[in-house]
Amino acid sequence: MPTLSTAVRPSVWIGCLACYNAGHLTGSWYDADIANLVTPEDLHGRSTDHEELWVMDHEDFHGALQGECSPSEAAEIAEALQELSYDETDGFAVWVAEWGDGVERNEWVDRFREEFRGFHDSEAHFAQEWAEDTFDEEDKQRMKRWPFSEIDWDRAADELFSSGFHAERASGGIYVFDPR
């Protein structure tokens, strides 16, 4: 599975805040994973007494970064994205928005992978898959016989999602998480 480091390279436009406040745009695009290494001298091409840099625009973060931020924040998110497969990035962006603030950034990817239960068509679809994956062979055989063959998966989903699972709507389905 391709990772972001080979498939997508998040990038950021880093600008000088002193120049911006003086009415001038001074900045450039950089690979996001090295944003924390950019210096004011890099932006100006010479020595300067300007000190503060800011990410004013960004691309290819799959929603994991919203708005402006510091170069170090952008680099941390880009580094986390590089550890993920392309298929995980959108779910990761949803997870970061919902639970990322309460977790140390160096633990983001591990926690995301512990809690992520995939992308599903609906809560009922997830409930059925969860049951099939969780039950042993005897339970699965029993499920094929009446009255189990008539399981109301919408109702089963209500039970699952009221007891800890969490769904976030997305285009075409839901991302499911089991935050602990």
Mean pLDDT of the chain: 89
Whether omega before 147 lies within 30 degrees of 0, making that bond cis, reads: yes
**Mind listing the pLDDT tens digit for each residue in 3-13?**
444 456 899 99
Read off the amino acid at residue 66. Answer: Q
pLDDT at residue 146, rounded to an integer: 56
pLDDT at residue 145, rounded to an integer: 64
pLDDT at residue 2, rounded to an integer: 40
pLDDT at residue 44, rounded to an integer: 96
**Mind listing the pLDDT tens digit for each residue in 138-180?**
776 776 665 556 788 999 999 999 988 999 999 999 999 997 6
**Mind listing the pLDDT tens digit for each residue in 82-100?**
999 888 999 999 999 888 8
Share of the chain above pLDDT 70, in %: 91
pLDDT at residue 1, rounded to an integer: 38
As a whole number, mean pLDDT of residues 78-84 equals: 92
Residue 21's Cβ-count burial label (10 Å; 0-12, 13-18, 19+) is exposed
Beta strands, E only, 32-172: 53-59, 116-120, 166-170
pLDDT at residue 43, rounded to an integer: 94
Helical packing angle, 108-115 and 89-99, nearest 10°: 100
What does pTM read for this prediction?
0.77
Read off the amino acid at residue 130. Answer: W
Q: Coil, strand, or helix at residue 37? A: helix
